[in-house]
Structure 1
């Protein structure tokens, strides 16, 4: 959520809601998002949100385009796919058009579209986004930390895998179903990661950064028991612990630590200077593990929601 100040009348402002975007609309939104990221130093829309701009309609996803005199100056995405939680949203206003109430207009439209039952991300937790959340009557309920550590001179002990477990690279297509099943089980209580589908996986495999050599699968007797998917942000010189999962029943045996070490060594071997990851602040056990591995909090994304 990246926004602006008080609401002011804007006769030429219009908001259109679409189930899917044309390629031209998607490119215009991506350009707006990129400009906001350059200005704010933080992506205003998540990777999942950006992927959902293209490729046609997606069940439960809608796009709100805010225009002034025919120019796109604001965007919001609403995703209503969780059977329990309120619909989740992200929104952004072009940096050159802030201070005119466009963010509040988008926020009000999201509230109306969701029946006043809404969750909204404020990536980076910027002051303007926190103010908009307050104006909309939303309360803070989730903090997602981005943690980082240097990779230069990385010294980690050799990974010790549980007995009978081996690690190999992911094979696109062949391993999809097994990975999706273990991912769903490992993140059964995670509102985003645990719900990934084949289409979501295919979206990521189609991205320029995707490299199966950095996607490590742990197996015992041919059965997938854990994984560490790394990601390279080449422009930023960052290697990411993208997704790390262990199948329920396999935790506590050191597999997660071993997979983390294998992935970090891989990223360091590529010459990347820094590693990053995301973790929920209330997952104190995971935060402690990453802190022991030398990670520290770099920035925090905040999620607000209507009162339940």
Structure 2
């Protein structure tokens, strides 16, 4: 077992390959987007745990990785993955035990909540503390005429624009912090976190809409709401990546209008499916998305 604060590029490449192999084998992502970003373009200090392949030293390569775990910067959350070729050797339990030793009270993600993860959690005396649901909805067939004018979705057209890289970062981060003040991950995003995402190959500023706040007393660059859509290159689906509404602007229909606009834009671009993630206990959001045709297609769980 190795514990590191920094990794050389060759080890990062090995871990990313491990994540790809696990995802291909299990049918669900091995590691979350934030964990992958903290590997590729780190902006905060996390802890990395590595297990090398058992057996003859160096037989699988000097920098081979059989298992990996990451503990986030404040020690509240962690993820782990073991390569399919090295399972059933106790590596998952060893990683889990070390994670819990280094970060008392940590909550550990299980993507897809697969039977093996449930068994590992039960053996360690852990129970579910959080569920994150992935929902999906089919979009209208290609060629359907759909308006992408903000006014056709109940939005004030003179207050809606798309993101301007290099100008809107600070305002968006401030809005995001207000909108997600109680969210354990989203609400703590920084400008550096935002820029890390802007460097990803999927980032498209034309799919990040901003609604300016023109209420009395608001600063000229303050925002009332935003909608961010993520479309991976070559994919036929789009994700409602982040929808944020300032608490003072709730009840004005901005969230529903932005969601409608995002779905229309995805349809206009020829995508056939929309996805999103929502907390399992967010009854109001679940009801809203279900009315728009979204159904649950997967569950990620945190165990503590």
- TM-score (norm. length: structure 2): 0.89
Once the two structures are TM-superposed, the CA of residue 156 in structure 1 deviates from its matched residue by 7.9
Contact 1:20 1:56 in 2 (8 A): no
Q: Does 1:205 align with 2:198?
A: yes
Name 2:122's counterpart in structure 1.
Answer: 134
1:245-303 C-alpha deviation (Å, 9 max, x unpaired):
00111111101000111111111111111000000010000000000111000111011
Contact 2:162 2:210 in 1 (8 A): yes
Name 2:25's counterpart in structure 1.
Answer: 39
Q: Does 1:220 align with 2:213?
A: yes
From 109, 128, 137, the equivalent of 1:121 is 109
How many angstroms apart in 2 are the aligned matches of 1:204 and 1:57?
11
Q: Does 1:188 align with 2:177?
A: no
Name 1:242's counterpart in structure 2.
Answer: 241
Q: Does 1:64 align with 2:49?
A: yes
How many angstroms apart in 1 are the aligned matches of 2:267 and 2:274?
8
How many angstroms apart in 1 are the aligned matches of 2:145 and 2:245?
24
Name 1:52's counterpart in structure 2.
Answer: 38
Please give the secondary structure, in 2, of the residue aligned with 1:30: helix
1:2-52 C-alpha deviation (Å, 9 max, x unpaired):
xxxxxxxxxxxxx10110111111111000001111111111110000000
How many angstroms apart in 2 are the aligned matches of 1:55 and 1:24?
14
Contact 2:49 2:68 in 1 (8 A): yes
- The unaligned stretches of length 5 or more in structure 2 are 59-63, 215-219
Contact 2:43 2:192 in 1 (8 A): no
How many angstroms apart in 2 are the aligned matches of 1:210 and 1:179?
15
How many angstroms apart in 1 are the aligned matches of 2:25 and 2:223?
42
Once the two structures are TM-superposed, the CA of residue 96 in structure 1 deviates from its matched residue by 1.4
Once the two structures are TM-superposed, the CA of residue 198 in structure 1 deviates from its matched residue by 1.4
Contact 1:88 1:118 in 2 (8 A): yes
Give the structure with the larger strand fraction.
1
Once the two structures are TM-superposed, the CA of residue 152 in structure 1 deviates from its matched residue by 2.5
Once the two structures are TM-superposed, the CA of residue 114 in structure 1 deviates from its matched residue by 1.0
Correspondence list, 1:1-308, <5 A: 15-55=1-41, 58-59=44-45, 61-68=46-53, 69-70=57-58, 71-81=64-74, 87-115=76-104, 117-153=105-141, 158-161=152-155, 166-221=159-214, 222=220, 223-305=222-304
How many angstroms apart in 1 are the aligned matches of 2:114 and 2:259?
31
- The unaligned stretches of length 5 or more in structure 1 are 1-14
How many angstroms apart in 1 are the aligned matches of 2:176 and 2:158?
18
- TM-score (norm. length: structure 1): 0.88
Please give the secondary structure, in 1, of the residue aligned with 2:71: strand
How many angstroms apart in 2 are the aligned matches of 1:80 and 1:132?
24
How many angstroms apart in 2 are the aligned matches of 1:229 and 1:55?
21
How many angstroms apart in 1 are the aligned matches of 2:185 and 2:158?
28
